[in-house]
C-alpha cells in the first residue's frame, strides 16, 4: 500500500549538487533534476522529494485498470499532500445528480455512508474557473468553530482532475497544517499530479484504437484469403485453416443449417470425415446448442451468464480439456450456420481475439451463404425457390410444416370420424423440489461419518459427520496466548500513560479476538448438520474417513421427503401437444399398479439429449405424495392431450418417421 511506504525527507532547492547528511542522520535530496516533475517543482519554489517524483512518474506510466489507477492516484496524492483523508468524486455519480464517490482514503464501508468532512466539503464546492489550479478552503468541524491560539488549522483542498461540460471529476483532500502558507504549498504539490488522470485516459483511448485496428487487420487478412476461392468446400476449408493459423486454435469447424439442425461442412486440416464419427456428432451438438439458443455459447461459461452449455462442456471433456467458442453466423438477422473454435485450455481467446472472430463471422456469413447456394444441384435450388414463394404466401416461419399440415388435413380429414383421448407418453424421474448441500466449512480431514445415502435425518439435531479440529484448537490456543500478551502490553502502556501504545495494543488485541471468533465458528461448523428434515441422497463418505477435504467441497446432499415432484422427458415430436395445467397420471417401476395423478406446471424451453434422444423437460405437480415415494424413482407418465382419432394414435410414429426422412 502507498500509505505504508516511507516518504523521503525534503529540503528546499538551495543546496549544491549531491546529497548531504541532515542533523538527525537522514539523507536529504539535493538540487539534481531527474525529470520534468522535479523541474516544475523547482520553478514553483517547491521542496524536492525524490519519492514524490518517483510516484508521479509511476502514475504517468501506470498500466493497470481504471479502478486500480484511481486508487493509486488517490494514494499518491494523499502521500504528496500528507492529507489526513482524501476522496475522488464525480458529479452526476448519484441518482439525484450529485457528487458520487469513485475512491476514498481511508477506504469507506459501503454501509457507513460518507464521512462528515466529505459531506461538508461536497456541500460547498467552490466554483472552478481555472482547471489548472487547486482551490484551498479553511475547514472547521461543528464542534470546533474557532481555533484556539497556537492550534493547527484544518483545510480542504479541491483539485480539478477533469472539469468540462461532459464530465466533472474532482479530488478533495483534508489536511491539518500549522498555517495557511503550508496549506498552499501542499496544494501546489498536488497540482503536480493533476495531469495524470487525463494522461491515463488518453493512453487508454490510444491503446483501444490500436487494438481495434489490430482486430480489423487480422479479420480482413483472413477474409482476403477466404475470398480467393470460388468453390464452396475449398473456401470453407481454407477459412477454417486460416482461422486456426491466425488465432492458433486447436480445431476450427463450420456448420451450416440443414432444416432444423446444423451439419458440419468443414474442419481445419481435415479434408474428408465421416458423419458417423462421434467427434462430428459432438461438434454438431455444440453448434445446435448455439443455434437453438440464438446466442454465443462458450465453455467455460461465466457463472452469471444464463446460457446452457452442456454440449460444449461434453466436447471439452471428451477431446480436451479445451476452451470452446461457438458463434452463430447470421445473414439478415437469420442464422445460416455456426462457427466453432477450440482453443487450448491454457491459452483462451482474449477479448480482442474474440472480437476479431465475431467481426470475421459477420463478414464471411453472406459469402458462405452465397457459395453454399451456388454449390447446390438444380433440384435443390428449385425447392428453395418454391419454399421462398411459400413463405410469401403463408408466412415467414415453419413454411414446410404449414404446407404439409394443410395437405395432410385435407386427406386425413375424411377418415377422422371416431374421436379418442390422446396421450403423450414419456418416461419420468422423481426429483426433490429443494435440496440442501452440506459443504466442508474449512480445509481439513474427515473424522467421523454417521450417515449414508438413504438415511432419514432430522433438521439441526442429528450430526451427519465431523471434521478433525485438532489443528484449529491448537491455533485457538496460540491466538489466546497472543491475546493475553497484547492485553498485558495495553495495561503496561496504560500505567505509563502512553495513549498511543494503549490504542495500538488494544487494536492488536481486537484483531486477535476476531481471529479467535473465526476459529470458534470453524470448530462449531465441524459438526455437520442439515438445516432440513429429509433423506440423504448423496454423500457416502465412510470410505473417505481420515481423508482430506477442501473448503466448499460438497460432502452430503439432503432432499426433503414431503417435497417431491416428477420430471417428465417428453420427446420433441410431442412437445407441441403439452401445455401448462394439463392433467395426467404416472406409475413408478417400484409400484406399477399405483397411479398418481398430476398437473403440468412448467415446460423447459430448451431441449436436451437423454439416452440419444432429443427431449424436453416437463415438471409436474403430483396430487398426492405416498410415503414410499423417494427421489430417483422412475417410471412411465401419460399426459392427456385432448381428443384425436385412433388412426392418428396408431400411425403417428410411422407417419412422423416418414415425414422426417422424406422432408414432407
Return the CATH number at 590.
Answer: 2.40.30.170
- Whether residue 45 has pLDDT greater than 50: no
Verify that 511 and 619 share a domain, yes or no. no
Give me the domain span that covers residue 582. Answer: 564-662
Verify that 158 and 304 share a domain, yes or no. no
Q: Pick from 347, 287, 291: which is nearest to 314 by CA? A: 287
Q: What percent of the chain has pLDDT over 90?
A: 15
- Residue range 589-616: mean pLDDT, rounded: 92
Between 461 and 5, the more confident residue is 461
Verify that 119 and 86 share a domain, yes or no. yes
Distance, in Å, from the CA atom of 586 to the CA atom of 633, rounded to the nearest integer, reads 11
Convert the pLDDT of each residue in 87-143 to its tens digit. 988 887 555 457 888 888 888 766 667 888 888 888 888 887 777 788 888 876 544
For the chain, how many residues are written?
664
Q: Identify the pLDDT of residue 2.
A: 33
Convert the pLDDT of each residue in 439-457 to its tens digit. 888 888 888 888 888 788 8
Q: Which set of grid coordinates corresponds to residue 38?
A: 522535479
Q: Identify the pLDDT of residue 75.
A: 86
Verify that 28 and 136 share a domain, yes or no. yes
Residue 191 lies in a domain: yes
Q: Identify the pLDDT of residue 37.
A: 43
Between 151 and 109, the more confident residue is 109
Verify that 598 and 520 share a domain, yes or no. no
Between 344 and 24, the more confident residue is 344
Tell me the sheet residues that pair with 21: 27
Tell me the sheet residues that pair with 175: 155
- Whether residue 583 has pLDDT greater than 90: yes
- Whether residue 146 has pLDDT greater than 50: no
Answer for the pair 564, 631: CB distance below 8 angstroms, yes or no: yes
Residue 96 lies in a domain: yes
Residue with cell 440464438: 294
Residue 382 lies in a domain: no
Convert the pLDDT of each residue in 221-245 to its tens digit. 787 778 778 888 888 888 899 888 8
Q: Identify the pLDDT of residue 371.
A: 82
Strands 564-571, 613-622: pairing kind: antiparallel
Verify that 147 and 41 share a domain, yes or no. yes
As for how many domains the chain has, the answer is: 4
CB neighbours of residue 419 within 10 Å: 11
SS3 324: strand
Of 240-254, 534-548, 623-637, the range with the lowest mean pLDDT is 534-548
Residue 83 lies in a domain: yes
CA distance from start to end of the chain:
71
Distance, in Å, from the CA atom of 239 to the CA atom of 358, rounded to the nearest integer, reads 14
Q: Identify the pLDDT of residue 58.
A: 73
- Domain limit, last residue, from 148, 174, 203: 203
Verify that 533 and 617 share a domain, yes or no. no
198 Cβ contact list (under 8 Å, min separation 6): 161, 162
- Residue range 604-615: mean pLDDT, rounded: 91
Residue 248 lies in a domain: yes
3-state SS of the chain: helix, strand, coil percent to 5? 40, 30, 35
Residue 492 lies in a domain: yes
Q: Which set of grid coordinates corresponds to residue 208?
A: 483501444
Q: Identify the pLDDT of residue 101.
A: 85
- Whether residue 24 has pLDDT greater than 50: no
Distance, in Å, from the CA atom of 342 to the CA atom of 174, rounded to the nearest integer, reads 54
- Whether residue 639 has pLDDT greater than 70: yes
Verify that 157 and 279 share a domain, yes or no. no
Q: Give the sheet arrangement for strand 334-344, strand by strand.
A: 261-267, 251-258, 334-344, 322-331, 297-299
Evaluate if pTM is beyond 0.85. no
Verify that 241 and 331 share a domain, yes or no. yes
Verify that 195 and 253 share a domain, yes or no. no
- Domain limit, last residue, from 203, 219, 245: 203
321 prior amide bond cis, ω within 30: yes
* Domain CATH number, residue 266: 3.30.450.40
- Residue range 383-403: mean pLDDT, rounded: 69
Q: Identify the pLDDT of residue 29.
A: 32
Identify the band that residue 494 occupies on the pLDDT scale cut at 50, 70 and 90. Answer: confident
Mean pLDDT, rounded, of the chain: 80
188 Cβ contact list (under 8 Å, min separation 6): 44, 46, 134
Most confident of 196-210, 522-536, 588-602, 621-635: 588-602
Convert the pLDDT of each residue in 302-361 to its tens digit. 777 788 888 999 999 898 789 999 999 988 888 889 999 999 988 888 888 888 888 888
Q: What percent of the chain has pLDDT over 70?
A: 86
- Domain limit, last residue, from 375, 405, 422: 375
Distance, in Å, from the CA atom of 350 to the CA atom of 364, rounded to the nearest integer, reads 21
- Whether residue 68 has pLDDT greater than 50: yes
Verify that 284 and 176 share a domain, yes or no. no
Q: Identify the pLDDT of residue 397.
A: 63
Residue 408 lies in a domain: no
Verify that 168 and 223 share a domain, yes or no. no
Distance, in Å, from the CA atom of 313 to the CA atom of 319, rounded to the nearest integer, reads 10
Q: Identify the pLDDT of residue 580.
A: 93
14 Cβ contact list (under 8 Å, min separation 6): 31
CA 425 to chain centre: 39
Answer for the pair 429, 630: CB distance below 8 angstroms, yes or no: no
- Residue range 390-411: mean pLDDT, rounded: 70
Residue 168 lies in a domain: yes
Amino acid at each position: 500500500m502507498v500509505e505504508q511506504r516511507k516518504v523521503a525527507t525534503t529540503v528546499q532547492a538551495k543546496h549544491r549538487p549531491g546529497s548531504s547528511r541532515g542533523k538527525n542522520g537522514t539523507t536529504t535530496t539535493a538540487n539534481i533534476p531527474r525529470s520534468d516533475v522535479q523541474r516544475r517543482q523547482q520553478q514553483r519554489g517547491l521542496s524536492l522529494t525524490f519519492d514524490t517524483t518517483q510516484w508521479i512518474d509511476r502514475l504517468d506510466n501506470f498500466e493497470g485498470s481504471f479502478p486500480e489507477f484511481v486508487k493509486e492516484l488517490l494514494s499518491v496524492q494523499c502521500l504528496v499532500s500528507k492529507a489526513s483523508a482524501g476522496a475522488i468524486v464525480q458529479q452526476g455519480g448519484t441518482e439525484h445528480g450529485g457528487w458520487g464517490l469513485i475512491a476514498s482514503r481511508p477506504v469507506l464501508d459501503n454501509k457507513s455512508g460518507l464521512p462528515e468532512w466529505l459531506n461538508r466539503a461536497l456541500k460547498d464546492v467552490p466554483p472552478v474557473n481555472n482547471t489548472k489550479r487547486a482551490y484551498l478552503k479553511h475547514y472547521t468541524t461543528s464542534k470546533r468553530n474557532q481555533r484556539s491560539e497556537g492550534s493547527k488549522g484544518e483545510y480542504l483542498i479541491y483539485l480539478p482532475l477533469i472539469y468540462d461540460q461532459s464530465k466533472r471529476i474532482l479530488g478533495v483532500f483534508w489536511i491539518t497544517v500549522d498555517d495557511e502558507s503550508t496549506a498552499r504549498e501542499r496544494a501546489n504539490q498536488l497540482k503536480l499530479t493533476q495531469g495524470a488522470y487525463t494522461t491515463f485516459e488518453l493512453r487508454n483511448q490510444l491503446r483501444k484504437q490500436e487494438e481495434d485496428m489490430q482486430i480489423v487487420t487480422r479479420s480482413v487478412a483472413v477474409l482476403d484469403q477466404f475470398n480467393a476461392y470460388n468453390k464452396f468446400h475449398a473456401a470453407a476449408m481454407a477459412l477454417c485453416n486460416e482461422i486456426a493459423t491466425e488465432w492458433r486454435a486447436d480445431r476450427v469447424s463450420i456448420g451450416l443449417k440443414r432444416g432444423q439442425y446444423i451439419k458440419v461442412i468443414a474442419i481445419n486440416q481435415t479434408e474428408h470425415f465421416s458423419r458417423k464419427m462421434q467427434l462430428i456428432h459432438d461438434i454438431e451438438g455444440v453448434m445446435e446448442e448455439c443455434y437453438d439458443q440464438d446466442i454465443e455459447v462458450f465453455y467455460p461459461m461465466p457463472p452469471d451468464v444464463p446460457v446452457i452449455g452442456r454440449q460444449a462442456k461434453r466436447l471439452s471433456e471428451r477431446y480436451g480439456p479445451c476452451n470452446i467458442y461457438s458463434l452463430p453466423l447470421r445473414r439478415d438477422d437469420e442464422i445460416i450456420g455456426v462457427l466453432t473454435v477450440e482453443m487450448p485450455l491454457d491459452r483462451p481467446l482474449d477479448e480482442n481475439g474474440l472480437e476479431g472472430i465475431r467481426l470475421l463471422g459477420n463478414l464471411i456469413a453472406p459469402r458462405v451463404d452465397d457459395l453454399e447456394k451456388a454449390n447446390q444441384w438444380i433440384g435443390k435450388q428449385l425447392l428453395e425457390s418454391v419454399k421462398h414463394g411459400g413463405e410469401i404466401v403463408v408466412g415467414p416461419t415453419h413454411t414446410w410444416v404449414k404446407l404439409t399440415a394443410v395437405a395432410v388435413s385435407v386427406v386425413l380429414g375424411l377418415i377422422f370420424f371416431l374421436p379418442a383421448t390422446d396421450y403423450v407418453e414419456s418416461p419420468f424421474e422423481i426429483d426433490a423440489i429443494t435440496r440442501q448441500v452440506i459443504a466442508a466449512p474449512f480445509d481439513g480431514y474427515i473424522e467421523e461419518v454417521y450417515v449414508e445415502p438413504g438415511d432419514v435425518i432430522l433438521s439441526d439435531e442429528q450430526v451427519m459427520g465431523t471434521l478433525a479440529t485438532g489443528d484449529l484448537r491448537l491455533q485457538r490456543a496460540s491466538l489466546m496466548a497472543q491475546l493475553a500478551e497484547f492485553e498485558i502490553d495495553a495495561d503496561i502502556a496504560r500505567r505509563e500513560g502512553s495513549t498511543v501504545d494503549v490504542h495500538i495494543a488494544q487494536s492488536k488485541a481486537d484483531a486477535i479476538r476476531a481471529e479467535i471468533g473465526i476459529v470458534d465458528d470453524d470448530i462449531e461448523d465441524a459438526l455437520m448438520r442439515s438445516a432440513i428434515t429429509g433423506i440423504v441422497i448423496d454423500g457416502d463418505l465412510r470410505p473417505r474417513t481420515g481423508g482430506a477435504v477442501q473448503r466448499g467441497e460438497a460432502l452430503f446432499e439432503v432432499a426433503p421427503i414431503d417435497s417431491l415432484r416428477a420430471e417428465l422427458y417428453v420427446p420433441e415430436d410431442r412437445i407441441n401437444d403439452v401445455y401448462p395445467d394439463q392433467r395426467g397420471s404416472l406409475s413408478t417401476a417400484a409400484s406399477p399398479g399405483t397411479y398418481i395423478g398430476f398437473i403440468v406446471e412448467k415446460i423447459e424451453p430448451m431441449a436436451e439429449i437423454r439416452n440419444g434422444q432429443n427431449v424436453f423437460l416437463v415438471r409436474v405437480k403430483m396430487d398426492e405424495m405416498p410415503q414410499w415415494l423417494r427421489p430417483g424413482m422412475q417410471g412411465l407418465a401419460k399426459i392427456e392431450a385432448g381428443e384425436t382419432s385412433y388412426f392418428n394414435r396408431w400411425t403417428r410414429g410411422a407417419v412422423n418417421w416418414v415425414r422426417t426422412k422424406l422432408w414432407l
